Structure 1
């Protein structure tokens, strides 16, 4: 995490699909497999978004058998950039609620 820059994290979180991934991981409160995400993109495009999030230090991916799992690096991000992730998630919740009304 020490090599991750604020610029990298912000660029990763600027995309609405990637914010959606972060939002879903936050709401789930547990690790999720790649196939369980609700995203308006193809599986190959979603893979690209996972890669961007992983390279920016926002998520960690690991395998359980043949299933690729995703975990939010919330505590590590909070230590590196205090308040950033919680602010982005809160804004995403507000944005989703506004879109639904």
Structure 2
């Protein structure tokens, strides 16, 4: 993977419950397939459970972020519950997030 510097956040993966879509940024194809699959499961399950759009990405400084959003007119989206679920994911998969951050800082 070619080394890049960016002043913008970089999206790693996104799941969208509205369009039933999952996206993985091909710039990160060097990440082992098992990790890519685990990331897909986490993202898709998050949106199936809470709705909305769930993304995993990196700040310009290389810090990994988990973000959940909803369309403004989505009355079924539980914003508080979704954010609590994100906190749970941060704790449960801490080692995964730390290894992805290290990968990003080393190769991006």
- Give TM-score, length-normalised by structure 2: 0.31
- Report which of the two structures shows the higher radius of gyration computed on alpha carbons: 2
Q: Higher helix fraction: Structure 1 or Structure 2? A: 1
